[in-house]
Amino acid sequence: MTATDPLVVAAWHHVAGDLRAEHLPELATDALVRGLDSPSLRILAGHDPRDVDVARELFTDVITELRIPAQSRDEAIWCLVRRTAERILDGHTPPIEEARWIALYAAEAVEEGGDLRRFTDLIVDFDDLPGGDVHAIEREIISLCTELLERSAPRRWVQLRAESGRSPLTRHGLWGQVDVPLLELRLDAQLADDVSTWAQFYDAKLGQWPDSGGFTSTQQATDFVEQGRLFAVRLQDALGPTYQVEYGPERLEGPGLKLERRRRFRRRPS
């Protein structure tokens, strides 16, 4: 069987957890007509499509009997994402509808979903701006699909951000942001030390803010943010194309600017 055989694709859906089991008997019948065969495949072909629980059990046996390669859930979802991207580029289905599955399911179902969350942004834009330029969004989706298929594996997305009590580098996990220890990335010792010092400065300066501490001036805050921006560039260069480094800078205006509070002393009456 090829990687695009309907049974293989169904196996991906099965592992990913979004298999429509009512279609399995029809799929099994088609496979028998195409020359594939196994004991469970024959039983599945004659099975009542309404009994979806037994159909799933039979299909699990089919996967084993036909030696369809086993995959993790993340691997299966990524195979489906790549197939969806290929369908979009081939013009089989409307780009926005296919991209919606990537955005609303796949992007939140895998650990390394940074590349896929870019589809989410486009779908949110489309839904929030019904009068917007649909063709422009479709072009963006096609561009993302082309870029995605040029990679053999998803990039690891990490974010550089100074935050008290946390590693300066985090990644998006299934249940929120997860700390990424600098040692785990095997960075150059000088770069790792520079980023650690930058984060430690923030922790010492703003760890107790707003009760105490804070930047002494807007200029100090601006310098700190710019220093972080340079570290993000250095990290990207060091980690290479298999990573994407985002930067989450401190706010430099409005109520988000964390300046130390100036204490006012009242004169005692003479």
pLDDT tens series, the chain, 270 aa: 787 899 999 999 999 998 999 999 999 999 999 999 999 999 999 999 999 999 999 999 999 999 999 889 999 999 999 999 999 999 878 899 899 999 988 988 888 888 999 999 999 888 887 666 888 899 999 999 999 999 888 899 999 999 988 999 999 877 778 999 998 899 999 999 999 999 999 999 998 888 889 999 999 999 999 999 999 999 999 999 999 999 999 999 888 899 988 654 445 555
Sheet strands side by side (includes 156-160): 176-179, 169-173, 156-160, 243-247
Residue 178, H or E segment: strand 176-179
pTM above 0.85, yes or no: no
Q: Give 73's contacts (C-beta < 8 A, 6+ positions apart).
A: 15, 16, 17, 109, 110
Task: Write down the pLDDT at residue 108.
Answer: 83
Q: Which of 162, 157, 156 is nearest to 231 (CA)?
A: 162
First to last CA, the chain: 96
Task: Provide Rg for the chain, Cα atoms.
Answer: 26
Residues 100, 39: Cα–Cα separation, whole Å: 37
pLDDT at site 265: 41
* CA proximity to 40, closest of 18, 68, 20: 68
The C-alpha atoms of residue 29 and residue 43 are separated, in whole angstroms, by: 10
| Cβ–Cβ < 8 Å for 196, 182 | yes
Helix (H) or strand (E) holding 52: helix 52-65
Nearest Cα neighbor of 234 from 198, 184, 180, 181 is: 198
